[in-house]
Copies of this chain bind each other. A is one copy, B any other.
């Protein structure tokens, strides 16, 4: 069932919609303070938005000393679908027009099973959310995939960890199935947008968002906009060399960051440590589970296991080395570290900070916060919703 969502007729209306999205319900007068339009003009545009149904009246606003104003808010029935496809799991969430998460599902699934199987699952999860009553239909969907994307077309290109996805028309296909507008982007970029919208990066124009999961990627935000590079592969820092003649990487080179530090590398190192008997804790966990993950390392470290701590510390140093270079080059106003292994938390952060503050130039690091993402697994889905809402809230 196709749902015809109205679109703003001009840039002013788009601006107003985004203000209502980011700032919540607001009165006409307050909007007037923000947008620099004459009262009459503002009234006209608001009336048109009310006509389209994108905006509705919502009671009286608090008085500012005189006549009380009527509040405006985005249509409460608007729903966006945020989908974050990771290497080994899928997150699907439903948000309202203000991008508040109303329902969120997570299921393990290997992305290598291919686009058809994955999207079958995604659609099933979306149906489940609908059935739970949080949505009747969707006005747009944002999709994140763990690899480079040709953004305008919404098609993955040459994704290393996603065999079978190269060239699959994700945007086209899902737009058909869901009956609503769809945008596709790299999962890291979406995390960056999520942290910017609702997380630690609010009010920062230029920043970097490093996501450590199965691999490592970096979202680049410039002037509030995600920068994607010439072919859509910007931020692909997992294969920067951190050690000449270092470990062999799946990409064919030696010493890549990902080979030395990432969810996958950490798990392998931990298993090594367990088998060689260097860490009793890790050995016990290996015994119990049959395999180790980054989460096990995190737990062991929290329990005081020195080998686990050392692994994290060393990884943070590698990561810090790369980030230091990027900071010198890009001079961001903030660095956010997030992703699956954020559980490593402050041990990792301390190690990264030490390395960056030591290696980068003082001018670039003087006021540079390096922090953990605060949204965890919802960063991706919120970013996805944000992506598509930017699209829906822009004139066609």
Contact = CB atoms under 8 A, between A and B. Distances in A.
Contact of A241 (B157, B324, B331): B324
A363 interface: yes
A339 to B, nearest CB: 17
Interface residues of A, number: 46
Contact of A333 (B158, B206, B230, B235): B230
Interface stretch (A36-44, A62-70, A111-119, A354-362): A354-362
B251 A230 contact: no
A219 to B, nearest CB: 11
Contacts of A205: 230
Contacts of A222: 222, 227
Nearest to A333: B230
B329 A240 contact: yes
Nearest to A355: B241
- Majority-rule SS of A interface residues: loop
A205 to B, nearest CB: 8
Contacts of A240: 324-325, 328-329
Contacts of A324: 240-241
A321 B222 CA distance: 25
A332 interface: yes
Contacts of A237: 325, 328-329
A330 interface: yes
Interface in A38-97: none
A218 interface: yes
A203 interface: no
B239 A361 contact: yes
A19 interface: no
B331 A232 contact: yes
B328 A230 contact: no
B330 A229 contact: yes
What 5 pairs between A and B have smallest CB-CB spacing?
Answer: A229-B331, A234-B331, A230-B333, A240-B325, A233-B363
10 contacts: A158-B362, A206-B229, A222-B222, A229-B330, A230-B331, A230-B367, A234-B331, A237-B329, A239-B361, A241-B359
